[in-house]
Amino acid sequence: MGLVEVELPDPLRLRGRWAAFAAVCAARGWGANCHADGTVWHFDDGGGNWADLHHLGGGRAVLLGHDHEYSETYYANAAEYFEEPETDLLAGAPDWWSPPVRVVVDQGLWVGFVYGFEGGRWQRAPYDLDDGFESVGLPALDDRSCREAITEFTQDAPVRPDAGAIDALIAADGDVTEAHMAAVVGATGWDVAAGVAAARKFREV
């Protein structure tokens, strides 16, 4: 059985939303939850669920992660730990998918899903189990998810940001200014400059 196609935006279409949410997290002082570090974009929900996007060059990328409640796929160290049948998340995959996965597994983290991007499409290994990707809650998948995540993170602000300000932050596609940030976080006292810096790191890929 060959690889299975996955309906997801291409990596650069994820950038504006991922950068916008990272900017709000950084401004609030929660930059560890969502950030760009060189060629890797990271998201986690603070509760053990996470996703990393590795940009490999040449139009290739690998998206991997885990949901500790809903990933029913057990790969490598997770299969051994839980004494469950292993789901080979690299079955039929090209060799270039493997290095990002090995790095994470060597760190002792569990992996529930691995998706590879090349030639304008995302693919994964064939399996019928819930791999936990949808429940991870990656805000970068669409504008609605991103708006909801940012609105939730700014709910303590004196004035809630309007949808237009959030949309402008997303549309900046990582090229965020202090004006973009101020329109979203308002008079919270959060670190606007940190938000700008965090968003612009997504432009380094």
- Tokens representing 168 are 């402008």
Read off the pLDDT of residues 181-195 as tens digits, 9 standing for 90 and up.
Answer: 999 998 888 999 999
pLDDT of amino acid 161: 86
Read off the pLDDT of residues 14-71 as tens digits, 9 standing for 90 and up.
Answer: 999 999 999 999 999 999 999 999 999 999 998 999 999 999 999 999 999 999 999 9
Read off the pLDDT of residues 66-121 as tens digits, 9 standing for 90 and up.
Answer: 999 999 999 999 999 999 999 999 999 999 999 999 999 999 999 999 999 999 99
Is the per-residue pLDDT at 1 higher than 80?
no
CA 89 – CA 73 distance, rounded (Å)? 8
Q: What amino acid occupies position 132?
A: G
pLDDT of amino acid 146: 97
Exposed / middle / buried, residue 37 (Cβ in 10 Å: 0-12, 13-18, 19+): exposed
String of DSSP letters for 131-172: -SHHHH--GGG-HHHHHHHHHHHTTTSSSPPPHHHHHHHHHT
Is the per-residue pLDDT at 158 higher than 80?
no
The per-residue b/e assignment along 87-116, b for 16 or more CB within 10 angstroms, e otherwise, is bebbeebeeebeebbeebbeeebbbbbbbb
- Say how many residues make up the chain: 205
Residue 162: pLDDT band with limits 50, 70, 90? confident
Query: Average pLDDT for residues 126-134, to the nearest whole number?
Result: 97
CA 185 – CA 164 distance, rounded (Å)? 13
pLDDT of amino acid 22: 98
